[in-house]
Amino acid sequence: MTVLTAPTAGTSTPTDMKSRIRRTILANPSVLPTVASVVIFVAMVIYGEIAYGRIVQFNTVSNLLINNAHLVVLAVALTFVILTGGIDLSVGSIIAFSSVAGVMLSNAGWNPIAVVVTMIGAGAAFGVVSGVLIRYFNVQPFIATLAMMFLGRGLASLLSTTPERLDEDSPIRWLGVQLKVIDGPKVNDLVITPAVIIAVLVVAVAFFVLHRTRTGRTVYAIGGSENSALLMGLPVRRTKVMVYVISGALSGLAAVLYTARLGTAQNITGIGWELDAIAAAVIGGTVLTGAYGYVLGSVVGALVLGLMTVLITRDGGIPPEMTTIITGGILLVFVLLQRAVVRKKE
């Protein structure tokens, strides 16, 4: 005799789980691009493990985090800006100027803490100019940050047109020192750097600010409707300037992390990185029209780009130029997906 028993309380079947996920997505369609980015990342991991092997292991994870710590910080910076419906094209040039200036100041004998503060402060200064132009002079974000992009690149070239190398004994290099977390078999160790820890802290603080503070709610409100945000009495002007200051300051921080890892700086550093950061944010589910997006999604988007480079390198037969083509294809898919989400919301 077959005895049928009802599911016990507190247990859920796979069908229940699928129904719950479906209801969550239908109730909040804006999470769909972020869910899609997670699915793509998992699919890339599975494909890489089947096709090339040794993807799901400690040293791959370590390299992915260490090599993309600066991109994660940039993705967070662009998330703040894009959520308000803006854009920041100056982040790559800020990195070039901040890194070259920082290396030169460090080699001149400046205190390392003062150098780091100066690099971040220089980025924030660019952000202040962009924010003031956009908010108080009604300059389009594309034009204002484009001007800052040329200004930053020009100032970096004015400082030096040759690679500047950070002194081997500079304390700033400590941010790039590898710290073993798990001692794996042979060379398969899980290692991180202080730069990775800083990137994680940036993500945590950004998540808290956007989702747990009045400032974060104002950022989302501006992206939804700036006029409505003004009518609600929200500090729109201050917040719009602030997001560009945050973007510039985080770009300066990204310059610190990148310089500490490589130990060199050039006036051509960061060319195209603003596009990588925008792509990471968009792939992670941040809608270009503003109001919708998540910091954690942007982190996943940055890791998708980093993992793509790893897989292309492992293959060996795919030219590096394919990275740009594949990124463009993924970006196009996500832009179309975002459009569907916006229509669903409307």
Query: pLDDT (tens digit, 9 = 90+) per residue, 199-243?
Result: 999 999 999 999 999 999 999 999 989 999 999 999 999 999 999
> What are the φ/ψ torsions at residue 191 (nearest 5 degrees)?
-125, 150
What value does the mean pLDDT take over residues 65-91?
96
Q: List Cβ neighbours of 321 (8 Å cut-off, separation of 6 or more).
A: none
CA distance 48 to 62: 16
What is the per-residue pLDDT for 321? Answer: 72
What is the per-residue pLDDT for 86? Answer: 95
What is the per-residue pLDDT for 292? Answer: 84
Show the tokens assigned to 274.
């603003």
Tens-digit pLDDT profile for residues 281-324: 998 888 888 888 889 999 999 999 999 888 888 877 777 777 78
Q: Is residue 4's pLDDT more than 80? A: no
pTM of the entire predicted model: 0.89
| Count of CB atoms situated within 10 Å of the CB of 173 | 18
Question: How high is the mean pLDDT of the chain?
Answer: 88
Pairing between β-strand 190-192 and β-strand 264-265 as defined by DSSP bridges:
unpaired
CATH of span 31-345: 1.10.3470
Q: Where are the domains of the chain?
A: 31-345
Tell me the sheet residues that pair with 179: 192
Tens-digit pLDDT profile for residues 235-271: 999 999 999 999 999 999 999 999 999 999 999 999 9
Tell me the sheet residues that pair with 180: 191
What is the per-residue pLDDT for 329? Answer: 83
What is the per-residue pLDDT for 69? Answer: 96
Tens-digit pLDDT profile for residues 97-143: 999 999 999 999 999 999 999 999 999 999 999 999 999 899 999 99
279 vs 184, residue with greater confidence: 279
DSSP string, 273-331: HHHHHHHHHHHTT--TTSS---HHHHHHHHHHHHHHHHHHHHHSSS-TTHHHHHHHHHH
Query: Which ranges of the chain would DSSP assign to H, the alpha helix?
Result: 14-27, 32-51, 58-67, 69-83, 91-107, 112-136, 141-159, 194-212, 214-224, 226-231, 236-262, 273-283, 295-315, 322-345
